[in-house]
Amino acid sequence: MRNFVQFILYSLRIALSGNSKYYAWLASLLVLVIFGTYSYLYQLQNGLIITGMRDQVSWGLYISNFTFFVGVAASAVLIVVPLYVYNYREFEYIVTFGEFLAVSALIIALTNVLADVGRVDRLFHMFPIIGTPNWPDSMLTWDIIVLNGYLLLNLLIPGYKLYKKYMNQEPSNWIRYFILLSIPWAISIHTVTAFIYAGLSARPYWNTALMAPRFIASAFTSGPAMMILVLLIIRRYTFYRKYISDKAISTLTQITLIAMIINLFLLLSEIYTVFYSATVHQISLKYLFFGLEHDGKLYAALTPIAWISVLMQVTSVGLLLPKRTRQNFKALALACALNFGGVWLEKGMGLIVPGFVPTPIGEIWEYMPSFMEAVIVLGTIGWGLLVYTLMLKVAKTIEGKQNLPEE
Amino acid sequence: MDRKKEAQDKDMGRRDFIKKVAVGSAVTAPLMNFQIPIVRVSLDELLQKHFKEMSEEEKKRVIERLEKEHRERYGVDVKIKTTEPLKGVVWGYALNIKRCIGCRRCVYACVKENNQSRASPEDPTVGEIHWIRVVEIEKAKIEPGTEGTDFRTKFGDVKVGISLEEGEHYYDPEKVPEKEYIYIPIQCQQCEKPPCVKVCPTKATWKEPDGVIVVDYNWCIGCRYCMAACPYWARRFNWTWPYLPKDEINPDMHYLGNRIRYRGVVEKCTFCIQRTREGRYPACLEACPVGARKFGNLLDPESEIRKIIDEKRVFRLKEELGTEPKFFYYMD
Ligand code: SF4
Ligand code: SF4
């Protein structure tokens, strides 16, 4: 126990010391966090009326971001599986990047839920014993269970390994079971999140069996893309350079590329099915890509976002397919940024909002997030990045001191 | 600010205080006036149990507190009941769309009876909440041919038809009814298989033995999952505190029905349980000038509503979704 306390104190010391660049980075994240928190307090005081949401579109930016970051969290499994199941050693060093990315993404996802509920003081009503969780009926109850479980797993596994490294001991074998458990768990968090939407017959746009597969595909492309970006930045700006092998990055690149192609394929299937059969169900997708006309007025707020998102995703595939651009780190970074941004737009504005347009009784009402709402979301992302930075700093310093991989 | 207004402000107490902060300086006010929500919510309120888990004794205490809350916040003496559902009764509603003239009298009777928020004269963000929406549809758009398909329900056979996607519920002509249109008032359909209940993560909304879907406004966390799940757009969210002038409040309230709602929770039509459980008709039915609305016990084969289902051309909305509404539309 004393060792553990020392370990925590030691970690804190590492986390809070660094060069001026490190401090500048932390400070800029803090600014985001402060603005976000301030806006959140403002929302607590004045209610959700300060958001752009209304009865017509009753979920917006918060739930969209929640959805997207659950996907990012799930994608950590793409590093865990090659390493622990197929013993792909190149990922040995970067696995913590994945696990901590999962933790941070979950923090973003869960804080977005906090921002979205109308009565945050009553949140405990959905927990067992102290509340009345509607289990197994409600997918939201399921989701809260699996998300918190996944969060714990991803704190436990890397935390335990680090602690052992700090103590100069070999990790015991039992941790393997948790690692193996985390694999199906990762899939489950995103599947259950997809089921939240897919199970609603009231919203034909979401009510498709393709929902969960599309969620997984888009998560498995945007997650690694994010990871590649992080690794490239770390290689460029910090001294951990030599531990991140080109090979690890190129493997990640391939994963990103394949998942993106599958993702676009699924999107195409969806578009084909909906538009060719041309039932009333096409109306939300039509709204997303072309806008809807009503009484001589065109409602098309999401149209540019939809097309830009598709364009970004297709361009990223174009950049990743040829070997020459794929291996050029500048082009690679651009491709990953496009990929990440494209999926964010698609999942963010393109997935949740059109499900509400038109309303079940035929009203077309356009949602745009309010300024405060956007700041709150930025704040949650700031939290995530802050936690990510601090955790990585600790992990990489301890690992670097005590376990230098051979060149 | 003049005298009268000041007095009014005092009356409205907490709600108004919060609102004033909202309207006031947006930059400094939030930090200066911020209270932790736990503080703004009394401990008593926070620790209250789910309605169905409360003993009679606990219910009584809660009701006392709620009545006090109403007094402090809105300056009115109200009576909050917890009347149990009648035995051997499942309520059903039927509406004659050939008769309905789209006058929206039911809408406003409902607002009054059920203490829905009115538009605040001072704060434009506080708007009216309507549980009933009257959708206007061009007669020509009613899909021909679909009316012939029979659906067997446990209360009799119904027919399908009518696509709501082409509706308009903001219609505003000089005079209703307009000739080429029909009107379909839509409120909570009290589904036998309610998706809203299935999805609620906290069991804050459920089906009562008399078939009515209710919400415990003290248990709802405001996640709005039920709103996404309802195929009839029957649920409303309190994006801010409701605005109710003191002299427009209906003091005859039910815990699961028309008591004044909190900010951050959902609400919906309950077929007026504060009335129907005492043998009265829903307010919307009494307000209808053409007698288009019929209400009764679906379990009683001799009831008017069962006769209508047996004898008229009846359909339910979005039959294909399998929600089994207990709200029937019919034509003579
Ligand atoms: S109409 Fe909507 S709110 Fe009413 S019971 Fe059905 S699903 Fe629930
Ligand atoms: S908003 Fe309230 S009633 Fe609706 S699903 Fe959430 S907790 Fe349940």
CA atoms within a 13 Å half-sphere pointing along the CA-CB vector of A319:
22
Residue A383: what pLDDT? 96
Among the partner residues A121, A123, A140, nearest to B41 by beta-carbon distance:
A121
Contact B104, B128 (CB under 8 A): no
Query: Which positions in chain B touch A358 (Cβ < 8 Å)?
Result: 165
Say how many Å lie between the CA of residue A120 and the centre of ligand 2: 12
Average pLDDT, chain B: 85
Residue B247 has pLDDT above 80, yes or no: yes
Tokens 């803090």 -> residue: A30
> How far is the C-alpha of A234 from the C-alpha of A228, rounded, in Å?
10
Q: What are phi and psi of B213, to 5 degrees?
A: -90, 125
Q: Which residue has the tokens 């509503």?
A: B305
Q: Which residue type, as a one-letter code, is found at position B104?
A: R
In this predicted structure, the answer to whether residue A328 has a pLDDT above a threshold of 50 is yes
Give residue A406's pLDDT. 40
pLDDT at A236 over 90: no
Domains contained in chain B, CATH given: 2-81 (no CATH), 91-331 (3.30.70.20)
| For range A136-145, the mean pLDDT | 92
* Per-residue model confidence (pLDDT) at position B117: 97
Would you tell me how many other CB atoms lie within 10 Å of the CB of residue A405?
Answer: 12
- Which segments within A208-331 are labelled E, that is strand? 292-294, 297-299
Chain B residues lying within 8 Å of A283, measured CB to CB: 165
Which helix (H) or strand (E) element contains residue B125? none
| Residues facing B186 on adjacent strands | B133
CA of B319 to the centre of ligand 2 (A): 24
The mean-pLDDT minimum among A31-45, A305-319, B160-174 falls in: B160-174
Q: Is A49's CB within 8 Å of B163's CB?
A: no
- A383 contacts A106 by C-beta, under 8 angstroms: no
The closest CB to that of A47, out of B133, B227, B264, belongs to B264
Which of B50, B195, B223 is nearest residue A200 as measured by Cβ atoms?
Answer: B195
pLDDT (mean) for A226-233 = 92
The CA distance from A126 to the nearest CA of chain B, in Å, is: 5
Asked whether this complex has an ipTM greater than 0.85, the answer is yes
Q: Among residues 75-94 of chain B, which lie with CB inside 8 Å of chain A?
A: none
Looking at residue B31, its pLDDT comes to 47
Q: How far is the CA of B213 from the centre of ligand 1 (A)?
A: 7
Phi, psi of A368 (to 5 degrees): -135, 130
For A14-399, the fitting CATH number among 1.10.490.10, 1.10.3470.10, 1.20.1630.10, 3.40.47.10 is: 1.20.1630.10
Q: Write the burial class of residue B37 (CB in 10 Å: 0-12 exposed, 13-18 middle, 19+ buried).
A: middle
Choose, out of B46, B224, B232, B241, the residue to mutate when testing the contact with A (most A CBs < 10 Å): B224
Give the model's pLDDT for residue A2. Answer: 86
pLDDT in tens, B3-57: 444 444 444 444 444 444 444 444 444 444 444 554 467 778 888 899 999 999 9
Q: List the single best residue of B38, B51, B129, B165 to mutate versus A (max A Cβ within 10 A).
A: B165
* pLDDT at residue B18, as a whole number: 41
The answer to whether residue B148 scores a pLDDT higher than 60 is: no
How far, CA to CA in Å, does B73 sit from each of B4, B101, B242, B244?
18, 38, 11, 10
* B22 or B76: which leads in pLDDT: B76
Ligand 1 probe mutation, B210, B212, B268, most atoms within 8 A of CB: B268
Nearest-angstrom CA–CA distance, A251 and A244: 12
Sign of the dihedral defined by the CA atoms of residues A312, A313, A315, A316, in that order: positive
From the CA of B235, give the closest atom in ligand 2: 4
Tell me the mean pLDDT in the region B140-159.
Answer: 56
CA distance B236 to chain A (A): 6
Tell which atom from ligand 2 comes closest to the C-alpha of A126: 7
Selecting from B195, B220, B225 the residue whose C-beta is nearest the C-beta of A201 gives B195
For A359: left if phi > 0, alpha if psi spans -120 to 50, otherwise beta; the answer is beta
Q: The tokens of A40 are what?
A: 């959140």
Mean pLDDT of chain A: 91
CB contact under 8 A, A280 and B165: yes
Q: Is the model's pLDDT at B173 over the cut of 90?
A: no
In chain B, whose CA is at the least distance from the CA of A140? B201
Percent of chain A with pLDDT over 90: 76
How many other CB atoms are there within 10 angstroms of residue A401's CB atom? 11
Name every protein residue with a CB atom under 6 angstroms from any ligand 1 atom: B 188-191, 194-196, 213, 230, 232, 234-235, 268, 323
Best probe of the A interface among B199, B232, B267, by most A CBs < 10 A, is B199
How many secondary structure helices (H) and strands (E) does chain B include? 11, 14
Pairing of strands B156-159, B181-186: unpaired
Distance to chain A for B121, nearest Cα, Å: 17
User: ∠ CA A51-A190-A109 to the nearest 5 degrees?
Assistant: 35
Q: 150-209 in B: which are within 8 Å (CB) of A?
A: 163-170, 186, 195, 198-204
State what percent of residues in chain B have pLDDT above 90. 67
| Contacts (Cβ under 8 Å, ≥6 apart) of A129 | none
Encoded amino acid at A239, one letter: F
Beta-strand relationship, A292-294 and A297-299: antiparallel
Which pLDDT band holds residue A19 (cuts at 50, 70, 90)? Answer: confident
pLDDT at position B282, please? 98
The CA–CA distances, whole Å, from A92 to A97, A223, A244 equal: 10, 18, 10
Spatial separation of the C-alpha atoms in residues A94 and A72, rounded to whole Å: 16
Protein residues with CB under 6 Å of any ligand 2 atom: B 199-200, 202, 204-205, 215, 220-226, 266
pLDDT in tens, B212-238: 999 999 999 999 999 999 999 999 999
- The shortest CB-CB distance from B222 to any of A117, A137, A360 is to A117
Residue B195: phi and psi, rounded to 5, are -60, -30
**Spatial CA neighbour of B173 closest among B258, B102, B257:** B102
- Contact of A298 with chain B, judged by CB distance below 8 Å, is answered with no
Q: Is B18 on the interface with A (CB under 8 A)?
A: yes
Note the pTM of the prediction, 2 decimals: 0.89
Tens-digit pLDDT profile for residues B257-269: 999 999 999 999 9
The residue type at A52: G
Atom of ligand 2 nearest to the CA of B200: 5
> Whose alpha carbon is nearest atom 6 of ligand 1?
B191
pLDDT at A141: 92
pLDDT value, residue B111: 97
The predicted pLDDT at position A244 comes to: 84
Ligand 1 centre distance from Cα of residue A365 (Å): 21
Instruction: Please report which residue ranges of A47-74 form alpha helices under DSSP H.
Output: 61-74
CB within 8 Å of chain A, chain B residues 104-143? 125-126, 133, 135
Query: What digits encode the pLDDT tens for the residues A106-130?
Result: 999 999 999 999 999 999 999 988 9
Stretch A90-110: mean pLDDT, rounded?
Answer: 92
Of the partner residues B31, B195, B200, the one whose CB lies closest to the CB of residue A134: B200
Task: Quickly state the pLDDT bin for A257 (edges 50, 70, 90).
Answer: very high
Q: Is A120 on the interface with B (CB under 8 A)?
A: yes
Across A258-281, average pLDDT: 90
A327 touches chain B (CB under 8 A): no
The token duo for A266 is 């699924």
